[in-house]
Amino acid sequence: MSAPTTMSSLTAPRGSRRVTDVVVRGLVYLSGVIAVVPLVWILITIISKGLPVILSAAWWTQDLAGTTDRRAGGGALHAIIGTLEIGLITAVVAVPIAVLGAIFLIEYARGTRLARGVSFMVDILSGIPSIVAALFVFAFLITILHFDRSAIAAALSLVLLMLPTVLRSTEEMLKLVPDSLREAAYALGIPKWRTILTVVIPTAFSGIATGVVLGLARVMGETAPLLILVAYARNLYLSPTSDTMATLPTMINTGRDVAETLAGYDRVWGAALTLILLVMGLNLLARWIARAGRLKDR
Amino acid sequence: MADESSPAVETTDETSTLASPTSPRSPLEAAVSSPLQLDHVGHAGDNSFRGAAYAAAFVVVALVAFVGVFLAVIAWPSLSRNTVPFLTSTVWNVSGTEMAFGIAGLLWTTVLSSVVAMILAVPIAVGTALLVTHYVPPKLGSIIGFVIDLLAAVPSIIFGLWGLKVLGPALGPLYDWLQRTLGWIPLFSKGVDSTGNVLTASVVLAIMILPIVSAMSRDVFRQTPPDHIEAALALGATKWEMIRTAVIPYGRSGVIAASMLGLGRALGETVAVMIILSQTNTPGINVSLFSGGETFASKIANNAAEFDSPAKTGAYIAAGLVLFLVTFAVNAIARLVADRRPRS
């Protein structure tokens, strides 16, 4: 490495240092490429196999009653409705607890040891595997209280998974609400609870909505609790207390071993594409809400 | 998750613990605010709203405690009827009257698949985090970050389906080659015939935890103090030397915490692993990456239909309890490591 002595060669790194730098740069770019491959691969697979199935009107308007894996036709209406219904029940239970929990952490106990303890428990809750959440609900509702399996039981186990997601994003948002707003409300003689409801929550609303939508996306894609707590059926069941209700994840799971030549195999990919559209759609919606909210704050 | 204890918050903490450990600040607040209050319209509302907020916090804490307690209560009768040592046995026979179940095999497959997933995912995640924060322009960086984050939105059943039908068969030739050349190492010895082996599960788990590890690493790398970066560059460091001396030391504990969170996620992942791994009847522990097997989570999910008698259910719940304790420990360590992060 005998470079000519110009100004730049005096300052630029030479030899092994330069080689290492270039090699690392290459590896860093390579890791970026590797990281993007799976998503693209998954999306191409699912779209190419699932798109023909979901383009038919019957897919969105019929259930699979009366069909078999050998026969084409029918649709995923039963599973779509089931997924939405269980998601909705989960949100109705989880969101109030999550928002109040975040209000506790930020408005009532901010900076205290108690808040830190609760916050730690939220972290633990967000790390609980879905199968453990499902076993907990099974142990409590079914083994101890002798209820039957039901869509509500599945929704209750999903509450454990949705709660920390919504709580964290609400908490982050409440943290960003400036104290001057709270103080202005107190100065007007408004009690704390009304300040929270009429000043703090509306200011943080977009963040809370983002958290709710992200939480919904997470629980609608969950499978494990549904396997344990509610049975799959090919028919549309609407009652939340019934022990059978189809959902998109369990529809995929039930059909995963169908032979490739049968119509049921195509329907599995159709259900996968429907589920991914639903979940990705919710994720994009959450990002859009977050961005719209941020612009308004400015 | 790690940024709530800023210095300002920590000082309030000290003063409030002096006042009262259970309902901090409230006596002080009441004393100050009541003489100033012009009318008492708000009190009933204030009290009930405060009560609701405390109740919600209590629910969160109680849920975590209940999960442990209820699983233990249901598992206990079955554990006491167990005829083999629970932690070290590899048999699983719960249908007869003689119950014999042990988790050694499950523990091995769970830990092996998750650790391999972590080994595969962490370098890529750190690489992408560096790429996004220090190599490409911020605009392009946020696009790459967005694409990786979208990966986190893919439901696990889809990962499972894709791993079983597409990824596994695609990796088949690589598996054959690995078994031929490295087969003398027990870890790479001949396993099941299908590609539904531990390695396929690990690759899929790696893809699943990549966005988590990558997003958290990105956050810590982005917070590297500019002074450190500029100082390194002023001393003539190359970009890599700057990263090695400024970015990595600052972000190390954040990356470790992120990896632990990823590990926790991989340990508990259920459906993707359940779909991919072929169940084997080989007794004992399957050492090889190319063997099938079952993890805690996939064992439980695979046998959901068998939860008909309390004794049988109890055996699976005992396995679930171990999984809960392991993930609890891993997540708690992640949280402690994250809290010890250096601050600028």
Test the A interface: residue of B60, B113, B136 with most A CBs within 10 Å? B60
Tell me whether residue B219 is exposed, middle or buried, using C-beta atoms within 10 angstroms of its C-beta: 0 to 12, 13 to 18, 19 or more.
middle
Query: What is the predicted ipTM?
Result: 0.89
Q: For residue A216, give both structure tokens.
A: 């919904």
Whether residue A290 lies inside any domain: the answer is yes
Question: How close, in Å, is residue A175 to chain B by CA atoms?
Answer: 9
Q: Is A111 left (phi over 0), alpha (psi -120 to 50) or beta?
A: left
Q: B25 versus B263: which is more confidently predicted?
A: B263
- Check residue B342 and give its pLDDT: 54
In A, minimum Cα distance to B57 occurs at A101
Query: Mean pLDDT, to the nearest integer, of B265-272?
Result: 93
- Residues from chain B contacting residue A29 (CB–CB below 8 Å): 131, 135
Beta carbons of A133 and B24 less than 8 Å apart: no
- Check residue B127 and give its pLDDT: 95
Query: pTM for the whole thing?
Result: 0.87
B180 in reach of chain A (CB within 8 A): no
Question: Does pLDDT of A100 surpass 90?
Answer: yes
Beta carbons of A140 and B41 less than 8 Å apart: no
Question: How close, in Å, is residue A21 to chain B by CA atoms?
Answer: 5
Which of these ranges, A21-30, B20-29, B185-194, B242-251, has the smallest mean pLDDT? Answer: B20-29
Q: Which residue has the tokens 């470790």?
A: B256
- CATH at residue A135: 1.10.3720.10
Task: Please give the Cα distance from B92 to B312 (Å, whole number).
Answer: 11
Question: Does pLDDT of B5 surpass 70?
Answer: no
Test the A interface: residue of B13, B71, B154, B165 with most A CBs within 10 Å? B154
Question: Does pLDDT of B2 surpass 60?
Answer: no
- Check residue B187 and give its pLDDT: 85
B19 in reach of chain A (CB within 8 A): no
Query: Mean pLDDT, to the nearest integer, of B6-21?
Result: 40
pLDDT in tens, A249-271: 999 999 888 888 888 888 999 99
Q: B35 versus B179: which is more confidently predicted?
A: B179
Question: Does pLDDT of B20 surpass 50?
Answer: no
Query: Mean pLDDT, to the nearest integer, of A40-62?
Result: 91
pLDDT in tens, B280-336: 777 778 888 888 888 999 999 988 888 888 888 889 999 999 999 999 999 999 988
pLDDT in tens, A135-179: 999 989 988 888 888 999 999 999 999 999 999 999 988 998 999
- Residues from chain A contacting residue B313 (CB–CB below 8 Å): 138-139, 143
Using CB atoms and an 8 Å cut-off, which of residues 264-303 of chain B contact chain A? 264-265, 267-271, 275, 296-297, 300-301
Average pLDDT, chain B: 84
pLDDT in tens, A233-251: 888 888 888 888 999 999 9
Query: Mean pLDDT, to the nearest integer, of A210-218?
Result: 92
Structural domain of A125: 78-297
Question: How close, in Å, is residue A66 to chain B by CA atoms?
Answer: 24
Across A141-150, B14-23, B190-199, the highest mean pLDDT is recorded for A141-150
How many independent structural domains does chain A possess?
Answer: 1
Whether residue A54 lies inside any domain: the answer is no
Crossing angle, helix B248-268 and helix B198-222, to 10 degrees?
Answer: 140
- Check residue A10 and give its pLDDT: 53
Task: Please state, in angstroms and as integers, the Cα–Cα distance from residue B32 to each residue in A134, A189, A225, B36, B88, following that order.
Answer: 47, 14, 49, 7, 61
Test the A interface: residue of B270, B313, B327, B330 with most A CBs within 10 Å? B270
Which of these ranges, A36-50, A75-89, A234-248, B215-229, has the smallest mean pLDDT? Answer: A234-248
Test the A interface: residue of B49, B156, B294 with most A CBs within 10 Å? B49
Question: Does pLDDT of B33 surpass 60?
Answer: no
Adjacent-strand bridge partners of B93: B100
Question: Does pLDDT of B31 surpass 60?
Answer: no
Whether residue A197 lies inside any domain: the answer is yes
- Check residue B13 and give its pLDDT: 40
Beta carbons of A118 and B275 less than 8 Å apart: no
pLDDT in tens, B111-124: 999 999 999 999 99
Of A99, A135, A276, the CB nearest to B320: A135
Beta carbons of B67 and A133 less than 8 Å apart: yes
Whether residue A18 lies inside any domain: the answer is no
Question: Does pLDDT of A92 surpass 80?
Answer: yes
Whether residue A151 lies inside any domain: the answer is yes
Average pLDDT, chain A: 88
Burial A256-294 (b: 16+ CB within 10 A, else e): bebeeeebbbbbbbbbbbbbbebbbebbebbbebbeebe
- Residues from chain A contacting residue B50 (CB–CB below 8 Å): 108, 192-193
Contacts 24+ apart (CB under 8 A), A66-72: A67/A234, A68/A264, A69/A255, A69/A258, A69/A262, A69/A263, A69/A264, A69/A265, A70/A262, A70/A263, A70/A264, A71/A263, A72/A263, A72/A266
Whether residue A32 lies inside any domain: the answer is no
Query: Mean pLDDT, to the nearest integer, of B37-56?
Result: 77
Question: Does pLDDT of B56 surpass 90?
Answer: yes
Beta carbons of A35 and B128 less than 8 Å apart: yes
pLDDT in tens, B214-241: 999 999 999 999 999 999 999 988 999 9
Share of chain B above pLDDT 90, in %: 51
Q: A297 versus A129: which is more confidently predicted?
A: A129
B340 in reach of chain A (CB within 8 A): no
- Check residue A237 and give its pLDDT: 87
- Check residue B24 and give its pLDDT: 46
Cβ contacts of B5 within 8 Å, gap of 6 or more: A116, B339
B131 pLDDT band (50/70/90 cuts)?
Answer: very high
Question: Does pLDDT of A48 surpass 80?
Answer: yes
Q: Which domains does chain B have, with CATH numbers?
A: 100-339 (1.10.3720.10)
Query: Mean pLDDT, to the nearest integer, of A278-296?
Result: 84
Residue B63's nearest CA partner among A93, A165, A124, A106 is A124
Residue B247 · residue B218 · CB < 8 Å: no
Which of these ranges, A144-158, B2-16, B139-153, B184-198, has the smallest mean pLDDT? Answer: B2-16
Whether residue A122 lies inside any domain: the answer is yes
Whether residue A184 lies inside any domain: the answer is yes
